[in-house]
Chain A
Amino acid sequence: MADNMISCENVVFRYESMEGQTEKVAVAGVDLEVKKGEFLVILGHNGSGKSTIAKHMNALLLPSEGKVYVDGMDTLQEDLIWEIRSKAGMVFQNPDNQLVATIVEEDVAFGPENLGVPSDEIRARVDECLKTVNMFEYRKHAPHLLSGGQKQRVAIAGILAMRPDCIILDEPTAMLDPSGRKEVIKTITELNKKAGITIILITHYMEEAVEADRIVVMDEGKVKMEGTPKEVFSKVAEMKDIGLDVPQVTEIAYELKKQGINISTDILTISEMVNALCQLK
């Protein structure tokens, strides 16, 4: 248990029914463990329950059934909520709707200010975190003048300033253009590799999942598949059934295999594909 950053045990979550509608079960029994220092990607289409389970990981939502532990702390314990949220930070999908201050450095300071960190220490953290995400030169800028990718990096800096052990990112790139997406993924990959921060990335873009340590695929509120990127993406038919993409080369390998050609569907990158095809020639 102490090895796990986050532990979800048989979590069920039901949305309260509105005006006579039947209750919606967003998460229907999920068992999930996230190890410390891992780069985990949760893949799923809209409505699969991936965002809902993510919000359990920092106690924004509490399970209807089951338990969620963050670094050993039970999210159902009210008095632990603030400690849980300072250990497990969250970055949201809409870059605009998480920036609260009128200039960048003030926004990054927001988290530590809430935690009662002393003024000098906040200043030091803000400068350091902005440098980590390469936004230091924008520290006096107004948020609305930044690009989507820049806003998300500022949001990440704001979480980093709270010194979390783990950062959960709920579809952080869904509203960004390709260069913004690259900026964000590069930033979080570095945070994971260099600073050892546990990263949980919720997404529906498969290109972002190929670099993960482990992928969890969700559908209809349940975990449908789990494994390394190779293990998950090679199951092309299942992925398509769920309504998700696989890398184009993986799909080509799959189609060729269907035609009787002896090629592994374990292929994720262009170079792997080229090698495999060269051997078959």
Chain B
Amino acid sequence: MIKNITIGQYVPGESFVHKLDPRIKIILSLVFIVNLFIIDNFSGYILVILLLAIILATGKLSPKFIYKGLKPVLVLLIITAILNIFTVKRGNLLFELGFLKVYDEGLKQAAFMALRLIFLIAGTSILTLTTSPIELTDGIEKLLKPFEKIGVPAHMIAMMMTIALRFIPTLIDETDKIMKAQMARGADFDSGNIIAKAKSLIPLLVPLFISSFRRADELAMAMEARCYKGGDGRTRMKVLKLNYNDLIAVLFFILLIIATILVNKTNLP
């Protein structure tokens, strides 16, 4: 039943953001991340919030998806914040508890770092929310293609990603089946210490590995029977084409970068 949930966080849609060329989205996501690391004051973040709000609106996405994306990293966020609070020893001392000292610079740094992390997650979430796995692999393949000349196997990477995505639900299903079969023989995957739990995984992992090898073998044969001979000479049914919307998005981002640099230079808090 788990297989009914789509992989990643892709939410199908027809919005402006959904329809952008995946290559543009990937590049702009990278630009966004670099931009985050250029910013060194809170005012810069106001621009970021504005940008994210605009993207969410044009992408017809509800902020709750961003929240969902943040949940898994909540622990990391808290650890980052705490580390910063207690290790930064600049500025004015606010209070102390034994040998633990909290400075105002520490609080500021903690907030800054936490926000950076939040925006990072938000940005990449938007990428995966609005771009289907197929589009992502197509985009990555096209972007890496020029690097084939220096030995980057763009097509192979894309093919591997596609096959992995295709089989993840199937493997989840199979894992479930094997687990149930072994449980029917008395296997217990829940109890015991770390070592016991690790050992209990053998009756699960060995059959899974064996079947995966067999699966790979059969799939390779089926692909060869359909004349697969690597990336050379392959055409695609769906061709990626850039259009005006992509240009608008790129220009928009260029504006953002310029604005960020200007804001940085002004030494705002």
Contacts and interface: CB of A to CB of B under 8 A. Distances in A.
Instruction: Judge A-B direct contact (beta carbons within 8 Å).
Output: yes
Interface of A: 58, 60, 82, 85-86, 89-90, 92, 94, 96-103, 105-106, 109-119, 122-123, 126, 142-145, 158-159, 162
Give me the 6 closest cross-chain CB pairs, A-B, nearest first.
Answer: A98-B222, A97-B218, A109-B237, A122-B237, A111-B226, A144-B169
> Which secondary structure dominates where chain B touches chain A?
helix
The bracket for how many chain B residues form the interface is 20 to 34
A114 B3 CA distance: 29
Given A96-B215, A102-B133, A144-B169, A116 B235 contact: yes
Interface in B206-258: 214-215, 218-219, 221-229, 233-239
Contacts of B215: 94, 96-97
B166 interface: yes
A114 B228 contact: yes
Nearest to A122: B237
A96 B238 CA distance: 24
B156 interface: no
30 contacts: A60-B225, A89-B226, A90-B225, A92-B218, A97-B222, A99-B166, A101-B134, A102-B134, A102-B162, A106-B238, A109-B236, A109-B237, A111-B226, A112-B237, A113-B234, A113-B235, A113-B237, A114-B228, A114-B229, A116-B235, A117-B235, A118-B235, A119-B235, A119-B236, A119-B238, A122-B235, A122-B237, A126-B237, A142-B6, A142-B169
B163 interface: yes
Interface in B1-57: 3-4, 6
Q: Which one of B165, B170, B226, B234 has the highest number of Cβ atoms from chain A below 10 Å of its Cβ?
A: B226
Nearest to A88: B225
A104 B163 CA distance: 13
B234 A114 contact: yes
A101 B132 CA distance: 13
Instruction: Output the residue of A103, A116, A142 with the most chain B CB within 10 A.
Output: A142
Contacts of A96: 170, 215
A142 B170 CA distance: 11
Question: A-side binding surface: helix, strand, loop or mixed?
Answer: helix
Nearest to B216: A97
A202 to B, nearest CB: 14
Interface of B: 3-4, 6, 133-134, 162-163, 165-166, 169-170, 173, 214-215, 218-219, 221-229, 233-239
Contacts of B170: 96, 144
A118 B237 CA distance: 8
B227 A114 contact: yes
Contacts of A94: 215, 218
Query: Which of the listed residues A102, A110, A114 has the most CB atoms from chain B within 10 Å of its own CB?
Result: A102
A63 B237 CA distance: 36
A144 B3 contact: yes
A144 B4 CA distance: 9
Interface centre among A106, A114, A116 (most CB of B within 10 A): A114
A90 B173 CA distance: 26
Given A102-B134, A103-B134, A60 B235 contact: no
A40 B228 CA distance: 27
B166 A100 contact: yes
A209 to B, nearest CB: 23
B165 A102 contact: yes
A60 B221 contact: yes
Contacts of B237: 105-106, 109, 112-113, 119, 122-123, 126
B157 to A, nearest CB: 15
A98 B227 contact: no
A199 to B, nearest CB: 16
B221 to A, nearest CB: 6
Contacts of B224: 60, 85
